[in-house]
């Protein structure tokens, strides 16, 4: 049996008054929404290249979201294992 799904991702990038680039990433699965956050700040001695700040902040938000998604999957796996083990018949010979 095949399975297909479409998840939507929205990425918002903005710079605050301190010059920090912030990324807000939302993954919408249709049943769950997860939000990742990332920031980047240009060192005063470095040349200000906004695209680099965007890339760093977005990458960090994606990294944050990836960890959340993996943690959710681990929790779901544990939940499935717990349900299966509680309904499973004991192995071995019946006495």
DSSP 5-59: ---EEEEEEEE-TTSEEEEEEEEE-SS-EEEEEEEEE--TTS---HHHHHHHHHH
Q: Report residues of the chain scoring pLDDT below 70.
A: 85-95
| Residue 3 counted as domain residue | no
pLDDT for position 94: 55
- Reported as a single tens digit per residue, the pLDDT across 27-46 is 999 999 999 999 999 999 99
Q: Which domain holds residue 26?
A: 8-77
| Residue 92 counted as domain residue | no
The CATH number linked to 70 is 3.30.160.240
This prediction has a pTM of 0.81
pLDDT for position 1: 83
pLDDT for position 82: 73
pLDDT for position 9: 98
């Amino acid at each position: 049996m095949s399975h297909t799904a479409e998840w939507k991702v929205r990425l918002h990038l903005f710079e605050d008054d301190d010059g920090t680039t912030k990324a807000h990433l939302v993954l919408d699965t249709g049943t769950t929404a997860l939000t990742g956050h990332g920031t980047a700040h240009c060192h005063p001695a470095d040349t200000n290249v906004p695209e680099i700040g965007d890339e760093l902040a977005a990458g960090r938000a994606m990294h944050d979201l990836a960890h959340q998604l993996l943690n959710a999957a681990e929790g779901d796996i544990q939940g499935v294992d717990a349900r299966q083990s509680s309904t499973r018949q004991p192995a071995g010979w019946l006495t």
